[in-house]
Each structure stands twice: as C-alpha cells, then as structure tokens.
Amino acid sequence: MTLFERWFGKSEETSAERAKERLRLVLAHERAFTHFPFMDDLRKDIVEVIQKYMKVEDINIKTDQSRDLDLDMLEVEVSVGKDVKKEPTIIN
Amino acid sequence: MGTVITVTSGKGGVGKSTISANLAVGLADAGHRVIAVDFDIGLRNLDMILGLENRIVYDVIDVMEEKCRLPQAMIHDKFSKNLFFLPASQTKDKTILDKGKVFKLITQLKEDFDYIIVDSPAGIESGFEHAILGADMALIISTPEVSSVRDADRVIGIIDAKSHKAQAGEEVEKHVIINRLKPELVEKGDMLAIQDVTNILALPLIGVVPDDERVISSTNLGEPVIRKKDTISGRAFKNIVQRLLGKDVEFLNLSPENRFMAIIKRWFT
C-alpha cells in the first residue's frame, strides 16, 4: 500500500465496509470449527473405545480441522501416555 | 399438527423475546391458535413483554416435571382468545431439563396449537439445544452489528446438529430477521446494510425491523407494538407474520427520507 493510498484511498472506506471485511475473515476461520459439531461426542467415544482395549487414564486427543476447496480434513491424534497395560480390560 | 417456530440468536439482547411476543400476537390476531413458550429458563422475560407477568402460577418446568397439568400452566392472553403463554421458570436450575421431557411437551403442544413460538435463550448452551430440539422452523435474529452477526453465524452452524427434524433427515427451515436497523446509519456507511448481513449469513431474509422507540414504550406497558397503530416496527412485524403464513409481502421502504415523512405524517394524524 502506498502512502497515498493509506492517506486518501483508505480513508474512503466506511466503518460498515470494514465491519463486512472483518466479519468475512473471522467467519471463514470459525466456520471450519462448526463444520464438525459432533467433536465433543466423538472425543468421548474415542476415549471409551480406547479404554475398552487398554487400561490407560491419561488419553490425550488432539484434533485439527482444515478445509480445502473440495476436501474437508479431520485429523485426530491420540496419545495414550506411558502406563499402558497391554492386557485389554474387557474381552468380549 | 402445529408448526414449531424457534426464535433464536447467538448474542443476547438482540430482541428475541420482543420478536417472539410480537409474532405470537400477530399470528393469533390473524386467527390462528398460538402458544408462546419462554424457554429462557432462569431469565423469564416474555411474560413482561406480553403484559402477563401477574398471572403466572406454574411454569414450563413445573409442566415437564409433572407438578401440574399443561392447561394449569398456560396463561390466556388479555386480548386474544387465540393466544396462550407458557412462562419460563425463574428460580430452578436449568440443568434439570432433559431432552425427552422437552420433546414430549413440544409434541403435546403441536396437537393443540397451530403455531408454537419458542423463545430461546441466547448462546449455544444446553438451553438453546432444548429450544431448538423440536423446531420446524428457526428464526435467527441479528442486529446489524459485528458481534451479533458473528454469533448468529455460529448458531446457524449448529441448528441442524441439535434439532430432531434435521436428525431425521429433514431440514429445519431457517430465516433471518434483522432487528434494530438504523437506516440513517446505513446511509452514512456506519452500519451494515441488510444485504451485507444476508450475504454473510447466507440465509433467506424474512423480515427487517427498524430501530423504533415505540418498541421500548410498548414493552414498558406490556403491550406488544404490533397492536399499536401507525408504528413502523408494528408494520414490520405484521409483514413478518404474513410471510410466515406463506404470503409474499414486499419489504418496507426504510430509506431515511421515508421514515422522516412517516414521522411528519404521524404528527398530523
């Protein structure tokens, strides 16, 4: 942006236009997170399933969501800590 | 079978209860059997806007916990034989509600009424979930301000995840109402315009209610503004009612000079 634009060009932008632009940016970011509204339930289920096979307490689940043009990505990383008892607690 | 219309928003204080009250009155005055249900548990408000606060004996939680029968808790409107009101509880912990009870109540109301207007609490917590659970239609209220539009967008994103209808594979009809528009500010470029808000939220617009002092005085009196003659907000509400009933009504011309003329005219009538 040139000094000229900063002084003259930009001063013509109204506060409503700024509001529109700021909203567009913040919502583009936030919508990615409402795209998987079931994340909390999914987390609980993952913990349950893991505890069915392993006797661990500190399960750490890290999720990352991203959106491409035609692809929704959901990455789930599960770490189960050190004290893993290999024996499954429930055998069905 | 009645239609459940949930009035909701992300941000608080954008006028959900006022809009719920006015639409309920409007639909009732158009000859339909209507019940307005206040689901803002712990923060009762709709009663004062409807002017029915002195008649409350039981509330919606009492009904759901079967401490009273539904008709005992329903309050009849002062002016319309078609309009009933079911108040929110004021004191009880809102976490005691469970989805099964909420859905049972809504189903029961659908049998007795043409329209069930559910006034939802703000936000996306459990109270909102209960209010949206049985919705056939959701009216999302936003003022033309960044925080309100932003929060409305969040709510829109989770409506389908929380409603029974959407989970059964159908879609909850969603519409936007823009409240407290100030045409003078829009003109100056200091307020988001109608089109800006609808573009961002990407939902059909069902009404625009201009900022109007008469709404405040009506709330003071407990007489919804839709029943006041010659109010611009009252006309806006009447138009929304018509659109809810499936009629194609033109949007009010809210350009500043028009409002000015309306005020001048009011002085001379």
Residue with tokens 């989805």: B99
> According to DSSP H, which parts of chain A are helical?
3-4, 15-34, 39-53
DSSP string, B222-246: T--GGGSTT-HHHHHHHHHHHHHTT
Which range, of A5-9, A41-45, A71-75, B206-210, averages the lowest pLDDT? A5-9
Backbone angles phi, psi at B245, to 5 degrees: -85, 5
Distance from CA of B115 to the nearest CA of A (A): 29
User: B192–A30: do the CB atoms touch at under 8 Å?
Assistant: no
pTM score of the predicted model: 0.79
- Give me the percent of chain B exceeding a pLDDT of 90: 76
Q: A23 and chain B: CB distance < 8 Å anywhere? A: yes
Residue B95 has a pLDDT of 62
pLDDT in tens, A1-39: 556 555 655 557 899 999 998 898 888 767 766 667 677
Query: Does residue A25 come out as left (phi exceeding 0), alpha (psi in the -120 to 50 range) or beta?
Result: alpha
**pLDDT at residue A86, as a whole number:** 59
What is the average pLDDT score of chain B? Answer: 92
Give the residue-averaged pLDDT of B72-90. 94
CA angle B32, B35, B36 (to 5 degrees): 125
Q: A21-56 burial, b for 16+ CB within 10 Å, e for fewer?
A: eebeeebeeeeeebeebebeeeeeeeeeeebeebbb
Give me the residue from A14, A19, A34 closest to B158, CB to CB: A34
Please classify residue B4 by burial: count the beta carbons closer than 10 Å to its beta carbon, then call 0-12 exposed, 13-18 middle and 19+ buried: buried
Best interface-test mutation with A: which of B196, B198, B203 has the largest number of A CBs within 10 A?
B196
Between chains, do B200 and A34 touch, taking CB under 8 Å as contact?
A: no
Average the pLDDT over B85-93 and give the result.
84
State residue B152's pLDDT score.
95
Average of per-residue pLDDT across B162-189: 92
pLDDT greater at residue A92 or residue B171 = B171
Would you state the pLDDT for residue A25?
A: 82
Instruction: Give the residue from B221, B247, B224 showing the smallest Cα distance to B234.
Output: B224
Angle at B172 between CA B206 and CA B136, to 5 degrees: 85
* Cα–Cα dist B99/B104, whole Å: 8
- Spacing of C-alpha B198 from chain mean position: 18
For residue B126, the model assigns a pLDDT of: 81
- Apex B128 CA angle, B227 and B47, nearest 5: 35
Q: Indicate the range of A50-54, B134-138, B246-250 predicted with least confidence.
A: A50-54
Q: Which has the higher per-residue pLDDT, B204 or A79? A: B204
Asked if the model's pLDDT at residue B31 lies above 70, the reply is yes
Instruction: Mark yes or no for CB contact A23/B200 under 8 Å.
Output: yes
Q: Reply yes or no on whether the pLDDT at B186 is more than 60.
A: yes
Q: Please check whether residue A27 is in contact with residue B200, taking contact to mean a CB–CB distance below 8 angstroms.
A: yes
**Does pLDDT of B232 surpass 60?**
yes
Contact at CB, A17 and B146, closer than 8 angstroms:
no
Mean pLDDT for the stretch of residues B62-84: 94
**Strand B83-86, strand B75-76: pairing:** antiparallel
**Would the CA dihedral through B154, B157, B162, B165 be positive or negative?**
positive
The pLDDT value given to residue B125: 81
- CA-to-CA separations, B61 to B96, B105, B220, B268, in angstroms, rounded: 9, 10, 27, 49
pLDDT of residue B265: 67
CA distance A40 to chain B (A): 12
Identify all chain A residues contacting B190, using CB atoms and an 8 Å cutoff: 14-16
More confident residue, A32 or B253: B253
CATH, range B3-267? 3.40.50.300
Token output for B127: 């109270």
Least confident of A44-58, B68-82, B89-103: B89-103
Q: Out of A2-6, A37-41, B116-120, B258-262, pick the least confident.
A: A2-6
Is the pLDDT at B153 greater than 90, yes or no? Answer: yes
Question: Taking a C-beta distance cutoff of 8 angstroms, is the pair B143, B197 a contact?
Answer: no
Choice among A1-5, B43-47, B130-134, B169-173 with the minimum mean pLDDT: A1-5
User: What pLDDT is recorded for position B79?
Assistant: 93
